[in-house]
Amino acid sequence: MVFSLADAVSHARGSAHAVLEGPDINRALIRISHEILERTKGAEDIVLLGIPTRGVHLAQRLAAYIRQFEGRSVPVGSLDVTMYRDDLRLRPARALGRTELPSDGIDGRIVVLVDDVLYSGRTVRSALDALNDLGRPQAVQLAALVDRGHRELPIRADYVGKNLPTSKSEIVKVYLEENDGRDAVLLLKEGDK
Amino acid sequence: MKRHLISAADLSRDDALLILDTADELAKISERSIKKLPTLRGRTVVNLFFEDSTRTRISFEAAAKRLSADVINFSAKGSSVSKGESLKDTALTLEAMGADAVVIRHGASGAPHRLANWVRGSVVNAGDGTHEHPTQALLDAFTMRRRLGSLDGRKVTIVGDVLHSRVARSNVLLLATLGAEVTLVAPPTLLPVTVDSWPCEVSYDLDAVLPKSDVVMMLRVQRERMNAAFFPTEREYSRRYGLDRERVAKLHDDAVVMHPGPMNRGMEIAAEVADSPRSTIVEQVANGVTTRMAVLYLLLGGADLGGEIQ
């Protein structure tokens, strides 16, 4: 998913509408980081694992907020799930993302998976399989910036930035400063792309 | 990526970098306690080896198994090939068994190219005659990149029996694609006649080339392919083109010494050089598995492109 800013601007003028704008995203992340601290009783054993590419940036922002609120450094990593996907055979082979685990690993930790959009749940299923090969966490939780529904597997998020009712024909696009030069979540009608 | 990997020349710069980047990610798998990915589950890879090989065959087998593919090993010795079966009939047999990829090593240059017209799956050239060995070139490039960073503008010297070497040809083609400057050093009798058309320089003086080399790759003198006298004596060859301690001293500090193996210690490379910290020879073997995993993943991991049998 690579989009230019010009793309985004033209979408914004057309039928696309912004669901979350710059500061909204950070407000949602601030709330999620408080929820993580609350649910995990001070985030002592947690590891944040972002799913590339935007999940990793979100995980880093969450870690920064947690450090700001509690003064605790939370290990952050990235977990590429490409090799574990169930739809590999539907498209040409794709390039791999980066998998980078914190040096202490994930054994016995509470792993919080972080992704930008939760949709069918298939990415999360792949991530659970990947974790299985990497170690044995004490628990796995899921944080998503946007939950757009239409789950195809029995998976739910523990922390949600925004619940966004969508139709399957719509497209949700997440732009992040680190990757795309600005923060926004857009909802596009089919055919806009 | 194309459907087959037959020549290093088939790879564009983007293809080659994609393979090397993929290999970089896959290298981490071999550091994990569970060295296996489910990606090629249910796919069948046939290792079709008409020539002797240890490291290449084992390397492909390990790569395929780490990606959860099923591996069938076939060696010509003790098979129906020794009863006179043709390559085409062997290929049709494999086809009937549903091979998704065929990794072939053959003594005849061009055999993988022929095979690619007969089978529906992907064909990977694991060395054909004196022609090419593209996965060796990829693993060499991967090893260089890990030691030296980018290959752009790096000076690579390939020394020895270029005439009989499929490794040299594949390396010259791939390294040129990746922006490295290759110099071949060999006695004139061990250079192919068409070497002028290769994207590289040629020299006959190893001592002059060594000081500016970032990589020195020694080739094995392939006596099994030599049917004439290409140099007067082994001692003279070793004196002029062998890599010993005095020659290694001429290299700059970060330069590395490579050898595709198997080595003739004391002939093209001195034992103490082969075992020195500059030498990447053992690394090359480990990197071979990773690089071949990347190749198999990129050829087989995605949608079936549905090749037509000709």
Residues 6 or more apart in contact with residue A73 via CB below 8 angstroms: A63, A67
Summarised one tens digit per residue, pLDDT across range A175-187 is 999 999 999 999 9
B210: in domain: yes
Q: Which residues of A touch B27 (CB under 8 A)?
A: none
A91: in domain: no
Nearest CA among B179, B177, B180 for reference residue B258 = B180
Number of domains in chain B: 2
Contact (CB, 8 A) for B7 and B60: no
Q: What are phi and psi of A74, to 5 degrees?
A: -100, 130
Residues 6 or more apart in contact with residue B38 via CB below 8 angstroms: A83, A84, A129, B68
B211: in domain: yes
Nearest CA among A73, A61, A72 for reference residue A32 = A61
Along the 310 residues of chain B, how does pLDDT read in single tens digits?
688 999 999 999 999 999 999 999 999 888 888 899 999 999 999 999 999 888 899 999 999 999 999 999 988 777 777 777 888 998 888 888 889 999 999 999 999 999 999 998 999 999 999 999 999 999 999 999 999 999 999 999 999 999 999 999 999 999 999 999 999 999 999 999 999 999 999 999 999 999 999 999 999 988 777 767 888 888 899 999 999 999 999 999 999 999 998 999 999 999 999 999 999 999 999 999 999 999 999 999 987 654 433 3
Q: How many CB atoms lie within 10 A of CB A172?
A: 19
Q: What are phi and psi of B139, to 5 degrees?
A: -70, -30
DSSP state at residue A4: -
CATH number for the domain that contains residue A134: 3.40.50.2020
On whether any CB of chain B is under 8 Å from the CB of A134, the answer is yes
Radius of gyration of chain B (CA): 19
- Of B56, B135, B157, B183, which is the active-site residue? B56
**Pairing mode of beta strands A184-188, A17-21:** antiparallel
What DSSP letter does each residue of B144-164 carry, written as one string?
HHHHHS--TT-EEEEES--TT
- What whole-number distance in Å separates Cα of residue B99 and Cα of residue B94? 6
- What whole-number distance in Å separates Cα of residue A100 and Cα of residue B25? 10
Does position A192 have pLDDT exceeding 70, yes or no?
Answer: no
A109: in domain: yes
DSSP state at residue A93: -
Q: Verify that B141 and B233 share a domain, yes or no.
A: yes
Contact (CB, 8 A) for A67 and A40: no
Q: Give Cα B117 distance to the centre of its chain.
A: 22
Summarised one tens digit per residue, pLDDT across range B99-121 is 999 999 999 999 999 999 999 89
Q: Verify that B50 and B157 share a domain, yes or no.
A: no
Contact (CB, 8 A) for A69 and A29: no
A166: in domain: yes
With an 8 Å Cβ cutoff, are A133 and B18 in contact? no
Contact (CB, 8 A) for A110 and B19: no
Q: Verify that B155 and B247 share a domain, yes or no.
A: yes
Show the CA angle centred on residue A168, arms to residues A162 and A171, nearest 5°.
Answer: 65
Summarised one tens digit per residue, pLDDT across range A91-142 is 888 889 999 999 999 999 999 999 999 999 999 999 999 999 999 999 999 9
Residues 6 or more apart in contact with residue A83 via CB below 8 angstroms: A96, A130, B37, B38, B39, B297, B301
Number of domains in chain A: 1
B309: in domain: no
Q: Verify that B77 and B210 share a domain, yes or no.
A: no
pLDDT tier at A7 (50, 70, 90 boundaries)? low
CATH number for the domain that contains residue B26: 3.40.50.1370
Contact (CB, 8 A) for B189 and B228: no
Does position A9 have pLDDT exceeding 80, yes or no?
Answer: no
Show the CA angle centred on residue B233, arms to residues B232 and B235, nearest 5°.
Answer: 140
Nearest CA among A52, A83, A47, A81 for reference residue A62 = A47
DSSP state at residue B28: G
Nearest CA among B73, B143, B72 for reference residue B288 = B143
On whether any CB of chain A is under 8 Å from the CB of B35, the answer is no
Q: Which domain holds residue B222?
A: 134-280
- What whole-number distance in Å separates Cα of residue B267 and Cα of residue B260? 15
Q: Which domain holds residue A172?
A: 5-85+100-188
A25: in domain: yes
B105: its two tokens: 């090593």
Half-sphere exposure of A132 (CA within 13 A, CB side): 12
Summarised one tens digit per residue, pLDDT across range A11-67 is 444 567 889 988 999 999 999 999 999 999 988 999 999 999 999 999 999 999 999
With an 8 Å Cβ cutoff, are A89 and B304 in contact? yes
Task: Determine what percent of chain A falls in helix, strand and coil, rounding each to the nearest 5.
Answer: 35, 25, 40
With an 8 Å Cβ cutoff, are A83 and B32 in contact? no
Q: Give Cα B293 distance to the centre of its chain.
A: 14
With an 8 Å Cβ cutoff, are A83 and B37 in contact? yes
- What whole-number distance in Å separates Cα of residue A69 and Cα of residue A72? 8
Q: Which residues of B touch A97 (CB under 8 A)?
A: 25
Q: What are phi and psi of A158, to 5 degrees?
A: -85, -30
Q: Verify that B35 and B126 share a domain, yes or no.
A: yes
- What whole-number distance in Å separates Cα of residue A61 and Cα of residue A186? 20
On whether any CB of chain A is under 8 Å from the CB of B20, the answer is no
B105 is catalytic: yes
- Alpha helices for B50-133 (secondary structure H): 55-66, 87-96, 111-116
Does position A82 have pLDDT exceeding 90, yes or no?
Answer: yes
pLDDT value at position A15?
67
